[in-house]
Amino acid sequence: MNKRTTARLDMVLWGVLGLAMIAALYLAFVDAPRERTMGDLQRIFYFHVAAAITGMTAFGVNFAAGVAYVARRDRKWDRLALAAAETGVVFFAIVLITGPIWAKPVWMVWWTWSPRLTLSLVLCLLYIAYLLIRRYIEDPDRRAMIAAVFGIVAFVDAPLVWFSIRWWRDIHPAPMLESGGIDPAMRPAFWACVASFELLLVYLLRRRCALESMREEMERLERLAG
């Protein structure tokens, strides 16, 4: 794919993403009904859960890219793994920030060491460690291989986060989509937020991979010039 086609695709994706974000904000803040018990505080749910799903998607991409790099040693998979880890950490930071904002009025505490919350924090810290490992290993091939293996191992925590509230019942709400706990009138807002966040993930992955590719090319030219 040439640069012109790539630029056009990014522009189209940016336009679709903008429309999706506007639609998600409208549905979440205007169209969705006000929850009877929590009131407007419940609207955090749309972004909190969407960010969690998108963050898990990003870590899944990191896992798949890590496996692909170990199998093929192609640098494009290493770039994708790096981009996915960075964006995944950003989305999980949103989860860890919006969660306590919701929890304080509802649970009367900012944080509790429940299985879901603890495992989510550990997952985010694992991928921060992944990024630190990449920062302090200078050799590109060694860095890519160690990071790929670490990312594969770190992803073991992702299924634990996902199934934690199914295996251990605690203060954290049950999976509302599976239990039918979400009002049908709220579902358009929820799925619009999920779709817009997933589109944002795709856009960020594309742009971050392109940036990393340019960085690698600059380093190659510097070595040739030196």
pLDDT for the residue 9: 87
- DSSP secondary structure string, the chain? --HHHHHHHHHHHHHHHHHHHHHHHHIIIIISPPBTTTBGGGGHHHHHHHHHHHHHHHHHHHHHHHHHHHHH--HHHHHHHHHHHHHHHHHHHHHHHHHHHHHHHHHSSS----HHHHHHHHHHHHHHHHHHHHHH--SHHHHHHHHHHHHHHHTTHHHHHHHHHHHS--SSPP-HHHHT-S-GGGHHHHHHHHHHHHHHHHHHHHHHHHHHHHHHHHHHHHHHH-
Q: CATH number, domain at 130?
A: 1.20.120
Q: What's the domain count of the chain?
A: 1
Which structural domain range is residue 128 located in? 3-225
Mind listing the pLDDT tens digit for each residue in 26-38?
A: 999 999 999 888 8
Q: What is the pLDDT of residue 167?
A: 66
The pLDDT score that the predictor gives to residue 172 is 62
Residues of the chain with pLDDT under 70: 1-2, 167-181, 226
Task: Report pTM.
Answer: 0.91
pLDDT (0 to 100) of residue 223: 79
